[in-house]
Amino acid sequence: MAEERTDRDAESREIETRPNDSWLPASVLPKPNPKPGWEFRYIRTSTLGHADNTNVSQAFREGWVPCPKDEHPELEVMSDIDSRFVGNIEIGGLLLCRIPTEVLKKRENHFQHVADSQMESVDNNFLKQNDPRMPVLNPERSTRTTFGRS
């Protein structure tokens, strides 16, 4: 006897398809939920089990402040056992800290000014040897990208 079959058009492969989600391994350093007006960063507190007091104190002087655990319940992690920063989030010798966005922008502007000053100094030193008959360097920097024939 012939068995009854359904048409292929009636069958749907959508049911058999797997979801597009793929598994990703957990990050070693969890990211805190963003908060308006604050920037977050992990500050090194120790290297190979030895405290790095210089790095921590420099970060604190720049304006970084340790984040309390109770402000970030999404970061339920086991902190370092012998942490000097009890009540804060420290993972593998890295302490989660925050800084106001305005302070961070001022810091970035400062270092951009330092980099610009250094570049100007290098240019001035190099251009001392410049002769108008045979210029060494055009002081205006510009880049052009061309594709194919011009």
97 pLDDT more than 90: yes
Q: What tokens does 62 get?
A: 């720049």
- pLDDT confidence of residue 149: 74
100 pLDDT more than 60: yes
Calpha distance 150→145 (Å, rounded)? 11
0.85 cut: is pTM over it? no
pLDDT digit string, tens, across residues 114-140 = 999 998 888 887 777 777 776 666 556
Q: What is the mean pLDDT of the chain?
A: 81
| pLDDT level of residue 111 (50, 70, 90 thresholds) | very high
- The helix/strand/coil state of 134 is strand
Other beta carbons less than 10 A from residue 56's beta carbon: 20
Domain spans in the chain, listed from the N-terminal domain onward: 38-101
- pLDDT confidence of residue 148: 78
Query: Which of residues 79 and 60 earns the better pLDDT score?
Result: 60
Question: Partners of 98 in the beta sheet?
Answer: 40, 65
Other beta carbons less than 10 A from residue 110's beta carbon: 10
**Average pLDDT, stretch 89-111?**
91
| pLDDT level of residue 69 (50, 70, 90 thresholds) | confident
Query: Which of residues 30 and 102 earns the better pLDDT score?
Result: 102
